[in-house]
Amino acid sequence: MAAANDWEIHHVDVKTAFLNAKMDKEMYIKLPDGVYDRDQGGICRLNLSLYGTKQAGRLWNIKLDKELKDMGDSRSPVDSCVYEWNHPVHGRVFILVYVDYRIVARKSLAGVKAFKWAASGQFDVRDMPEVKDFIGINVMRDNKPRTITLSSPGHTAALLGAFGMKMATPNKNPMASEVKLAKAKNDLLPEGNRCAALVGSLLYLSTMTRPDISFAVGVLSRFMSCPAKAHMRAANSVLRYLCGTTRLGVAYGISEPLQGYVDADWAGDADGRQSTTGFIFTVNGGPVAWASKRQSTVATSATEAEYMAAATATKEALWLRKLLEVLGVDGQAVTKGEDNQSCFAMINNPRATGRTEHVDVAYHMVRDYQTRGDVAFNVLPSAEVPADGLTKPLPSPALTAFRDALGVGPDFGGADMAQL
């Protein structure tokens, strides 16, 4: 939204945030070495929440919420981390809360500064200018064409360095199309291996700025209870792909409505024969939500697998639609591309047949929302459904087309591998 509307984006950091909230329970602590109170015998009652206590984050959030509401902010019912501040002069200012960080967005710089000035009266804050880096995400902005690119070159380089792959030979794709991973009984990795740490780091990257590795990382995450050497080789293959694509990121700019794509790979799981759901939603030229996940039940046909995927994507579409309304975008039917004719027929025709009457009623909600006009499914050729890359490994030409369709491109303002 900031890219398309040319909003100013600044951020504010609250210093020692957790120490601003009062403890909600009676709790005592032993004083650390070097600090001793003879009268108390080295034991003191904790009055304020302290880093390391289980409830510190929650207490800080309650405190922050109260202070923001006292300022006149209203909390979004759609996302509890989004607030709106209506200033009598500057109008609507949007605030995004992330633990002790607050991103402030508004068309006018004066409106952003007004909020930052008001916030400084509540807490001891560190006033930071326009967002350039946020939780490991590099934010590159070009005001002339109104584009914003989000990438993670630093995080990617650190990950490659930690696992000794910084100078590895790059792969053209994160997972070869012929790779079929399954649970193994032999060649298991010893306890305490680094595979889980690697996959966890890749998961973070795949959910932030790299949807192109989501399928490969999603498959790898299924084997963390008993990883084998084959799984570690597959994880290293993802690292080799990242080695050659460090500067890729997601870009936003052109004004486009919310639209989505959904697909499913029938019975692709080698162990339980579950299908894989993949969906992607884009706004203003770039992806804002995506997922590649194994379905919880076994589908008896490709049509059923696609229908279950469509229901999952519909839930995400309805939430995104409400969130955009909070940000000032008028609600309209969310168009979604689907490449299965039989699934499209099931959505538009409530008639049950012998092949579909066993489908769980929970998935039929997609029909109701299609009828009400909240979502609108369209049949597209498989080559025009980007979600296909979230359900199966793709060969190099198809992977390039997949990235282009998602808006995943190079961060021309970032550093190259030699600099990193």
β-bridge pairing 259-265 and 276-283 = antiparallel
Q: Do domains 2-131 and 254-404 have the same CATH topology?
A: no
- As given in the structure block, the two tokens for residue 333 are 């039917």
> Is residue 157 a contact partner of residue 166, using CB atoms and an 8 Å limit?
yes
Sequence-distant (6+) residues with CB within 8 A of 42 are 30, 31, 36
The answer to whether the pTM exceeds 0.75 is yes
pLDDT tens digit sequence for 115-161: 999 988 889 998 888 999 998 899 999 988 889 999 999 999 999 99
Residues 261-272, mean pLDDT to the nearest whole number: 91
Residues 374-388, mean pLDDT to the nearest whole number: 89
CATH superfamily, domain at 254-404: Ribonuclease H-like superfamily/Ribonuclease H (3.30.420.10)
Confidence of residue 418 (pLDDT cuts 50, 70, 90): very low
The structural domains of the chain, with segments of one domain joined by +, span 2-131, 151-246, 254-404
Residue 311 is given by DSSP the state H
Confidence of residue 214 (pLDDT cuts 50, 70, 90): very high
Q: Is the predicted pLDDT of residue 321 greater than 90, yes or no?
A: yes
Q: How far is CA 233 from CA 160, 196, 207, 401, in A?
A: 14, 13, 22, 26
Distance CA 216, CA 276 (A): 12
Confidence of residue 37 (pLDDT cuts 50, 70, 90): low
Residues 229-254, mean pLDDT to the nearest whole number: 94
CATH of region 2-131, choose from 3.10.50, 3.30.420, 1.10.760, 3.30.70? 3.30.70
Q: Is the predicted pLDDT of residue 355 greater than 70, yes or no?
A: no
pLDDT value, residue 419: 41
Distance CA 420, CA 415 (A): 6
Q: What is the residue-averaged pLDDT of the chain?
A: 89
pLDDT tens digit sequence for 384-401: 899 999 999 999 999 999
Distance CA 146, CA 148 (A): 7
**How open is the CA angle 267-271-275, to the nearest 5 degrees?**
25
Distance CA 100, CA 89 (A): 27
Residues 26-55, mean pLDDT to the nearest whole number: 82
Residues 187-195, mean pLDDT to the nearest whole number: 83
Confidence of residue 412 (pLDDT cuts 50, 70, 90): very low
Q: Is the predicted pLDDT of residue 250 greater than 60, yes or no?
A: yes
pLDDT tens digit sequence for 78-111: 999 999 999 888 889 999 999 999 999 998 899 9
Nearest CA-CA partner of 331 in 245, 257, 270? 257
Least confident range of 155-159, 192-196, 240-244, 259-263: 192-196
β-bridge pairing 259-265 and 334-338 = parallel
Confidence of residue 354 (pLDDT cuts 50, 70, 90): low
Q: What is the dihedral of CA 225, 228, 229, 232, to 10 degrees?
A: -30
- As given in the structure block, the two tokens for residue 404 are 């282009």
- As given in the structure block, the two tokens for residue 298 are 């076994």
Confidence of residue 52 (pLDDT cuts 50, 70, 90): confident
> Is residue 151 a contact partner of residue 248, using CB atoms and an 8 Å limit?
yes
pLDDT value, residue 350: 66
